Structure 1
């Protein structure tokens, strides 16, 4: 955990379990961070826990390990080239060794629970980078995403209790969709509760995130640098708290409605703007149920650029 982090609500040993290690064997790192946000709810997210790790270095081995019916800690080594979407089942920790890269494909977390994905570089995926659907308790942390076809991290179809933290997104258009359709309220109302914090949106274009139905969705302490089209959009019954973020060279930091989707609600507070628009807010948002501590928005750029992305956590 970085010494400037003051995040609360950490289950004993959870940071170690998230890395697929026991509390006794985990090695602290200056840039490592504990789980915070919605993925701490509903019983918490521990992935494969202390299951002995298995290292994979080929697409076939990775595919087999991800789809196993048993709890697993999967260590990814080297560059794995693949296509399409690889199914991730329940009780999995997928964590990259130094330089681990997924090239050409993405992960499909579907009808799963208790999944952790950390320290991987995703590039050139031909569908989504990570797709989460019909799944709960998912933690996506310290990854890098670039130059993919569709969404980098899309969350939809009644998924719930998800944290997306400390990731870097660059050279990409459609970054993060939350809720895929205005007509899917029967599945999505009361779900799609996601926390996005300490992510680095580095010259990406749109959907940071684009939100439907989820309430409250918490977007805090992210760095938006040179964002092209817009930052956050709250649409179709959503309630989004945009808090303590740093917006730089971003003409449209956040707004209500997007495309044919009607306006949702958005509350903005304590954000920092440099050569950026002021944003559009309105309506009310449900209260955040978990404890957290906010970095000063003016410090977020330096904190996030120093710590976000793959390769910023120590893997023993």
Structure 2
């Protein structure tokens, strides 16, 4: 649904109140203590598929109810994101993630909110890994699947692998108002049975393979019937391809995104089902495709605007409607070039 300016203002007020409280709190970051929520401000809630009650989780709340801590060093950050139980981890300044033996991918435990302070919080050199270790033998959600994670208001760059990787039946993840660039592989890859995820109000730029949804053409056992993801109000600012590239998932809801100067926007393959709605494509060679690689996908398109594009949107078949899962109110596609660049990325919550 629409995210009007009131929500952005409310988010900024929440951050300001938390920072003010921390300035007077006596507990140091090594021993966090719970902080009460601001008495007159309602907590932010995820929308899209991340808001759906499913798999024993009532929407996505992240670290709500846990301590609020601030990480200003690599050691603090890696400690906090790996702790069990709910925790709100505020990131201050630039944190360099080491490569080490993990190729720079660092695990995030369940029930975490990771949020940047101000407009300068940055993770560089590595990425965040949300999920259990990969295994082809696991074909249904395990009891200990990673879940309930919020990542907001952070700049990610320079990872030696993915900037964010979500895998192995992880569910209820909200990735919102971030900036992604210059990763060696994916910006936000979602695969191996992960489910009920929203990727919203992010800016992707100076990056090649942006959003992978679905592991590969042979992974139907894990991915078919899952990978329900909402992508809305993202700015694909000359990010080259995979915006997203989809296999097996249904429904995937791609609405109110702004595409500018991309080789292709959306690819639906391996019988995936995509609803493409209210997006604006400017100078995109292939805005959306169902004939890509592997088996054909399915795609329903409505109210999309194409300007200076070389090919039309390819459509095929029918797709389960996102409204069967959640309510939303999209902007008109003509509004997207003004609304999305003004609101996407860091420093806007």
Shift of 1:257: 3.5
In structure 1, which of residues 85, 95, 107 is the aligned counterpart of residue 128 of structure 2? 107
| Per-residue CA distance 1:81-136 (angstroms, 9 max, x = gap) | 12301100100000001210001100001131000000000011111000001200
In structure 1, which of residues 204, 214, 218 is the aligned counterpart of residue 249 of structure 2? 214
Aligned twin of 1:290: 326
- 2 CA distance for matches of 1:5 and 1:184? 42
Task: Decide whether the 8 Å contact of 2:245 with 2:267 is kept in 1.
Answer: yes
Question: Where do residues 120-139 of structure 1 align in structure 2 (5 Å cutoff)?
Answer: 120-134=154-168, 135-139=170-174
RMSD: 2.3
- 1 CA distance for matches of 2:211 and 2:63? 25
| Per-residue CA distance 1:185-238 (angstroms, 9 max, x = gap) | 1111111000000000001110000001110000000000111x2100000120
In terms of mean alpha carbon deviation, does 210-219 or 47-56 score higher? 47-56
Q: State the TM-score, normalized to the length of structure 2.
A: 0.81
In structure 1, which of residues 41, 44, 48 is the aligned counterpart of residue 63 of structure 2? 48
Task: Decide whether the 8 Å contact of 2:244 with 2:267 is kept in 1.
Answer: yes
Aligned twin of 1:87: 107
- Structure showing greater radius of gyration is 2
Aligned twin of 1:181: 216
Question: Where do residues 1-316 of structure 1 align in structure 2 (5 Å cutoff)?
Answer: 3=4, 22=37, 24=39, 26=41, 35-41=46-52, 42=54, 43-82=58-97, 83=99, 84-98=104-118, 99-110=120-131, 111-134=145-168, 135-227=170-262, 229-259=263-293, 261-276=294-309, 277-288=311-322, 289-313=325-349
Q: Following superposition, which runs of at least 4 residues in structure 1 exceed 4 angstroms of deviation?
A: 25-28
Aligned twin of 1:9: none
- 1 CA distance for matches of 2:147 and 2:302? 32
| Per-residue CA distance 1:223-269 (angstroms, 9 max, x = gap) | 00111x2100000120000000010111210001333x221101111
| Per-residue CA distance 1:270-289 (angstroms, 9 max, x = gap) | 10111123211111101212
Q: Quick check: which one's helix share is greater?
A: 2
- 2 CA distance for matches of 1:205 and 1:267? 23
- 1 CA distance for matches of 2:46 and 2:242? 23
Task: Decide whether the 8 Å contact of 2:45 with 2:51 is kept in 1.
Answer: no
Task: Decide whether the 8 Å contact of 1:127 with 1:151 is kept in 2.
Answer: yes
Unaligned runs of at least 5 residues, structure 1: 7-12
Shift of 1:27: 9.0
Unaligned runs of at least 5 residues, structure 2: 19-35, 132-144
- 2 CA distance for matches of 1:4 and 1:171? 28
- 2 CA distance for matches of 1:34 and 1:247? 29
